[in-house]
Amino acid sequence: MKIAVIGATGLVGREIIKVLESRRIPLTEFIPVASGKSVGKTIEFSGKAYNIVSLEEAVEQKPDVAIFSAGALISLEWAPKFKEAGTTVIDNSSAWRMHDNVPLIVPEINGNILTAEHKIIANPNCSTIQLVMVLFPLNNKYGVKRVVVSTYQAVSGSGNRGVDQLMNERNKREGEKYYPHQIDLNVIPQGGDFTEEGYTTEELKLVNETQKILQSDVRVTATVVRVPVINGHAEAVNVEFENDFDFYDLKRLLGFMTGVVVFDMPEGNLYPMPLIAEGKDDVFVGRLRRDFSQPNTLNMWIVADNLRKGAATNAVQIVEYIIKKQFVN
């Protein structure tokens, strides 16, 4: 089996390579793809150096699977070309997520909707993935009615440019400004561009993608904040349910959810943090407590590595699923 990684030199692309290696995905050929300035250079995979090729060359090689992490414009232009070549595309950008005929997949939740005919598969936004991983078992049992979520998003969610700005400011170096303001020793209540309604594009992704994945008209409102953390997104979440819940049963449900770790020991000052989640594939949830201001409502704190489960790991898990179902050779 041939696997291509488009955007192989970026933050997420390099993480995809690590996850492919660690999860021992069976492949006969690895095809790293990057921009023109990287073509001809080499990148290592499983101890072997591979030449980076262009998108044109990669299409000609007709990979079985192509994992895209090179931005929406590249995905919109090139995913259909790979599809025409018989390749199954797994796209990390926002390009295809809300297309009606493109499945938006978190394997633990809705991998079962995939078929061999799906040749473009969308990977959700990193913040959406960790949110729905926790909401899914609770929605099945209690019915999620409304979600209020505030995110605390690491700069690696903006790629190398976000990390570079933070580290340049921290080390008092001159450099390119990716964010509209200083990020070191600051928080910026903006993710993406502002819309006419005053929400940002990142906030609307949380709303729309959550509804699509859960196949529900659950009401979601979001505030996205960028924080001076390199890796690991955190979310403060308030969930109102249709039905009341037993607190013990609720924690048990979360504990049984594959890919979710309940890390909730306030008496020992133990709760999810980016430092705990970094480099791990699980979604961590803690600070679980009833909201006493209204019935049937829960407060919780969710943290995950945005480069792992929020992007690379979820994409590779989709690859594993379609291999298991023999949708690809």
Dist CA 166 CA 305 (whole Å): 18
Helix (H) or strand (E) holding 276: helix 274-277
Q: Is the dihedral of CA 260, 264, 268, 273 positive or negative?
A: positive
Strand-pair category, 88-91 with 65-68: parallel
The two structure tokens encoding residue 252: 């048990």
- Which residues does the annotation mark as catalytic? 126, 233
In terms of phi and psi (left: phi > 0; alpha: psi -120 to 50; beta: otherwise), the region of 198 is: left
CA atoms within 13 A on the CB side of 320: 17
Residue with tokens 């895209």: 68
Helix (H) or strand (E) holding 288: strand 283-290
The two structure tokens encoding residue 246: 């037993």
Spell out a b/e string for 294-328, using b for 16 or more CB atoms within 10 Å of the CB, else e. Answer: eebbbbbbbbbbbbbbbbbbbbbbbbebbbeeebb
Composition of the chain by helix, strand, coil, percent to 5: 35, 25, 40
The two structure tokens encoding residue 258: 């594959």
Strand-pair category, 297-304 with 29-33: unpaired
